[in-house]
Amino acid sequence: EPEVTQTPSHQVTQMGQEVILRCVPISNHLYFYWYRQILGQKVEFLVSFYNNEISEKSEIFDDQFSVERPDGSNFTLKIRSTKLEDSAMYFCASRDKVQYFGAGTRLSVL
Amino acid sequence: GEDVEQSLFLSVREGDSSVINCTYTDSSSTYLYWYKQEPGAGLQLLTYIFSNMDMKQDQRLTVLLNKKDKHLSLRIADTQTGDSAIYFCASHKDTGRRALTFGSGTRLQVQP
């Protein structure tokens, strides 16, 4: 069964460093998403991406965040200068009719 | 904006039925989902229902939708210990970003 793949499963970084979280969506899907889940809180929408551009973003997705589809398979989330409060699980999803999620990347900012 | 609420915890005995409830606020929500999250794992799509349906059954899972009360439920028949997980209700509209709005999740504990 096709699945969304995320790497790495756990990323540890120092505050102020840049991180790139990677996702390989399901191959025939055209819509891609990033969500995050801070420990003990709800899963929150960050950004949606279609046709090589951002289609919508939440108020969380500020200038320190960016997304890119650098080739035909990868979809990345970059955090330019990480803060302690960026520590969370980050989920990638892709959609045909419904959204399928990856296993997530746990980001720990020290 | 949309808000989705769930009770936080449910404990059942193995073999019993589990019913997990969810309420949502936006009556224009047209797609409603149930996801399962096991410890350390991602969000597994269990089932979904469109707002023009009242019920959907898929093996041990039954989803009921009451549009008037904006209430969604997930019934798991013959609950097994492997069903122990957190269950998330989520919704989105048929237009715009189609980003999901999630509930806080219900932790289901199945006792042998």
- Digit-by-digit pLDDT tens for chain A (110 residues) are 779 999 999 999 999 999 999 999 999 899 999 999 998 888 999 999 998 899 999 999 999 999 999 887 899 999 999 999 999 999 999 998 889 999 999 999 99
Smallest CA-to-CA distance from A66 within A29, A21, A11, A12 is with A21
Which residue, chain included where needed, has tokens 């209700």? B89
For residue A48, list chain B residues with Cβ-Cβ distance below 8 A.
97-99
Cα torsion angle, A94, A86, B42, B73, sign: negative
From the list A95, A106, A88, A16, the residue with the least C-alpha distance to B94 is A95
Closest residue, chain A, to B36 (C-alpha): A101
CB pairs under 8 A between A and B: 53
- Residues in A lying within 8 Å of B, measured between beta carbons: 4, 6, 31, 33, 35, 41-45, 48, 55-56, 58, 91, 93, 95, 98-104
Give the burial class of B21: count Cβ atoms within 10 A of its Cβ; 0-12 exposed, 13-18 middle, 19 or more buried. middle
